[in-house]
Amino acid sequence: MENNIPGSKKRRLRFPYKIRVEPRLVEAPGWVSVLLTIASIILALMVGAVLIALGGGDPIKAYIHIGKASFGSLGVFSDTLVKATPLMLVGLACSIAFRMKLWNIGAEGQFFIGAFAASVVVLLPVLPDSSPKWLFILIMFIFGFIGGALWGVIPGFLKVKFNVNEIISTLMMNYIAVFWNNYFIYAVWSEGGFQMSKTFPKNAWLPRLSDFAKDAPIFQGLTTHLGLVFAVIAAVIIWFILYRSKWGYEIRLIGDNAKAAKYSGISIGKNIILVMALSGGLAGLAGMSEISGVVHRLQGSISPGYGFTGIIIAWLAKLNPLAVIVVSILFGALILAGRELQPKGIPTMIQGVIFVFLIASDFFVRNRILFSRNIEE
């Protein structure tokens, strides 16, 4: 029960204060966690600045650019929301899985398969091009969800049946999904030799704000699409499932103590499969929303690593579905503005630094640091 930081333990530094670390015996107040999250983001941005400078960029310019290019006007904010939409869905996908300590890091692959499955509706085709918009969206929605869900269930099944580590299997499935997609855009649905499919008919596009510009001129040129509504509704539903349903209770119980769940008569295997299906389905929905709301065709570069960013978003949101919405908007901004930044890897790197600081900061939520005058030594 001795909880000194081991490194600082035996070294008898001539330091006027004694630092002691103890686990908190009462719950840390909510602001501690929020403050630490903000502090880690600020720290991360500072470290990011140093790294950008090392890589030959101008950090201040880069950050100002990120701010302007994502929140500067209604137009760019709308673009930020467009980027945030898939992030929300993927962030939810990760949150629900992580809540059960199910390390689904295959959201990227589930995203691709969701996009693929939604495209099947148009390209196979399942529906003729002349089908009404509502039908297109409904069927693509269902296909996207099911595609992602299937891709999620496979590793879930392998875990239940063969005890295969889901971290590795979901990750490997990411690569497989990308190659699967590539085969179809190169070989089957290639349009005029380019590595992309034909553009979807307008009926298969999710409605955008700019579609309503006739009635409300302020929407002129705004690209925010219906996917955002899907994402926000999904967040509310997931929140409701987690905190107000029997299934959510089971998920939280398994996540906190799987043995206790088993002892309460809850089937862990069944829940692994169901949660992987829901998680994969949400990521697949993100793929569908991106295909139908933004790209309007199937191609190779539909994701700048959304699936991986979702992991960080889930963590930053402390696995709270409603917080995922806010965090996704911030990361949407980072990704949107980051596209034009040089050197290229800046958004990934900043995400990485934020993630590292965030995890480190968790220590201070769980423990308290005591300072006392060092009289004895």
Partner 1 sequence: MPKEEVPDLKVIAHMQGIRKRFPGVLANDQVDFELREGEVHALLGENGAGKSTLMNILAGLYHPDSGTINIRGKQVSFNSPQDAIKVGIGMIHQHFMLVPSQTVTENVLLGLNDPPFIINLKDYDDKIRQLGERLGLIVDPRAKIWQLTVGEQQRVEILKMLYRGTNVLIMDEPTAVLAPSEIEDLFLTLRKMTAEGKSIVFISHKLNEITEISDRVTVLRRGKVTASGINTRETTREKLAELMVGREVLFRIDKKPVKPGDVVLSVENVQAENDKNLQSLRGLSLQVRAGEIVGLAGVAGNGQSELAEVITGLRKCTAGKICIHGQDTTNQSTLTSIRQGVSHIPEDRTHVGSAPNLSITDNVIMKNYNQQPIGMGWLINSLAANRFATKLKDEYEITAPLINTPVRLLSGGNLQRVILAREISSKPKLMVAVQPTRGLDVGAIEGVQRLLMQQREAGAAVLLISEELEELLSLSDRIYIIYEGQIMGEVTDGDIRKIGLMMTGTPLDKIGKEITEEDGK
Partner 2 sequence: MDMSIVLQAGVATGTALLFATLGELLAERSGIMNLGVEGMMLLGAMAAYWVSAHYGVPWMGVIIGMLAAGLISQIHAFITINLRADQVVSGLSLNFLAAGVSVVLGEGLNSIKGVAILPSFTIPLLSQIPWIGKIFFTNQGILVYIGYLVFPLVWYFINRTRQGLHLRAVGEFPAAADSLGINVYRMRYLYVFIGGLFAGLAGAAISLSISPGWFSEKTTSGEGWIAVGLVIFAQWNPIRAAFGAYIFGALRRLVLDIQGPMMILGLANPFYYNPYFGFFLQMLPYAFTIIVLVLGSREAIKKRIGTPAALGIPYIRGERGM
Question: What residue ranges bind partner 2 (CB under 8 A)?
Answer: 1-7, 51-52, 54-56, 103, 105, 155, 158, 162-165, 167-169, 171-173, 175-176, 179-180, 182-183, 186-187, 308, 311-312, 315, 342-353, 355-356, 358-360, 362-363
Q: Which does 246 bind (CB under 5 to 8 A by kind): partner 2, partner 1, none?
A: partner 1
Nearer to partner 1, 204 or 253 (CB): 253
Q: CB neighbours (10 Å) of residue 21?
A: 16
Rg (CA), the chain: 23
Amino acid at 82: V
Binding residues for partner 1, rule: CB under 8 A, are 1-3, 10, 22-23, 25-27, 243-249, 252-253, 256-257, 259-267, 376
Distance of alpha carbon 280 from alpha carbon 92, whole angstroms: 10
Q: 152 with 280: CB under 8 angstroms? A: yes
Q: Which does 373 bind (CB under 5 to 8 A by kind): partner 2, partner 1, none?
A: none
Which residue is associated with the tokens 């509504």?
A: 229
Nearer to partner 2, 139 or 317 (CB): 317
Q: Which does 252 bind (CB under 5 to 8 A by kind): partner 1, partner 2, none?
A: partner 1
Nearer to partner 1, 232 or 258 (CB): 258
Nearer to partner 1, 175 or 263 (CB): 263
Q: Which does 17 bind (CB under 5 to 8 A by kind): partner 2, partner 1, none?
A: none
Distance of alpha carbon 94 from alpha carbon 333, whole angstroms: 20
Beta carbon of residue 367, minimum distance to partner 1 (angstroms, whole number): 10
Distance of alpha carbon 233 from alpha carbon 229, whole angstroms: 6
Nearer to partner 2, 100 or 350 (CB): 350
Closest CA to 313 of 282, 340, 274: 282
Task: For residue 117, give every residue at least 6 positions away whose Cβ sits within 8 Å of its Cβ, in sequence order, or none.
Answer: 143, 144, 146, 147, 148, 284, 287, 288
